[in-house]
Amino acid sequence: MENKKREEVVEEEEEEEMKEFYMLLRRFREARDRRRKELEEAEENKKRKLRTTSSTSVNVWMPSFQWEDFTNDVQFRGTPPSPSPSPSPSPSPPSHSPHKHHSLDLNLSL
């Protein structure tokens, strides 16, 4: 008889532990769902704010030129660069024929 009472007490304790376990699971799920909903709302608010700010003030710079922009003389800040020295004429390659022709040499050689 005493053995039966112990088994009942053990079963009741196990049942209580199971109830607590499932209650904890339910609370975790509720907390997770609340957090997910908060994040979704925050993301939606952020998107809504971006839409309202972008639709109200679209600032795009469009370059425009006036005739006066091109009529002013250009003034350099320093002395102009010196012209580069002209390359010296390179010696012409020797021709293969003894007679000099005044035509284009189409022979390919290395």
The Cα 28–Cα 20 span in angstroms is 12
Quick one: tokens of 92? 């012409």
Q: Is 14 within a domain? A: yes
At residue 67, the pLDDT reads 81
At residue 101, the pLDDT reads 55
* Residues near 96 by beta carbon (within 8 Å), at least 6 away in sequence: 107, 109
Number of structural domains found in the chain = 1
At residue 43, the pLDDT reads 95
List pLDDT tens digits, range 74-105. 676 777 667 777 666 665 655 555 556 577 77
Q: Is 16 within a domain? A: yes
Q: Is 19 within a domain? A: yes
Domain enclosing residue 30, as ranges: 2-55
pTM equals: 0.40
Q: How far apart are the first and last CA of the chain?
A: 116
Q: Is 23 within a domain? A: yes
List pLDDT tens digits, range 1-33. 678 888 888 899 999 999 999 999 999 999 999
